[in-house]
Amino acid sequence: MSRMRLFLHYRPRKGKNPKFKSPRKRASKLFHELNRESCEKIKKSKPAVFGVGVDPGDAIEIEMITKGGVNTKNERHIERVRGVVLGKGNRGLDTWFHIRDVLFGLPVERRIAIFSPLIKSVKILEKNFVYKGKRKVKRAKLYFLRDRNPAVCRVTQSKRK
């Protein structure tokens, strides 16, 4: 009995290792390239959204279309959403901001997709809003602010008569 027969899983290779010959791996690689190219194209076309360096803890204002759609000429309603950035997720075309604000005494959280065509612009109202510029924000996600006093995240001031 030869020594090689003990290793049933051993097969000598003939040529190159076919790493990306599997259709599933090829499709995954192509999808990743398409996703990256479309992200770069959208970033170049919308400098009002991507030219702003938004970090967790900043107070921001986002202009977004809420009624009518992107290509509609009539009845277009643009809403301004304010809040403190609790976190940012980087997932290609599914990149998002998690913002929190207090409206009429109730905390409201939103997850807003950045690459959405409904987003028109992003403005930073105040850098390091959470600590009022006294110290650095040292976390990527500020979910601990959910347990704190809601007044800490209040960006929108209520109108009083």
Amino acid 110: pLDDT: 94
What distance in Å separates the CA atoms of residue 101 and residue 65, rounded to the nearest whole number?
A: 19
41 has pLDDT over 90? yes
CA 78 vs CA 26, 51, 63, 154: distances in Å: 41, 20, 6, 22
Beta sheet of 77-89, edge-to-edge order: 106-113, 96-103, 77-89, 59-67, 119-126
DSSP-derived secondary structure letter, 157: P
Lowest-confidence segment of 16-20, 108-112, 118-122, 137-141 by average pLDDT: 16-20
What distance in Å separates the CA atoms of residue 100 and residue 102, rounded to the nearest whole number?
A: 7
pLDDT band of 58, cuts 50, 70, 90 = very high
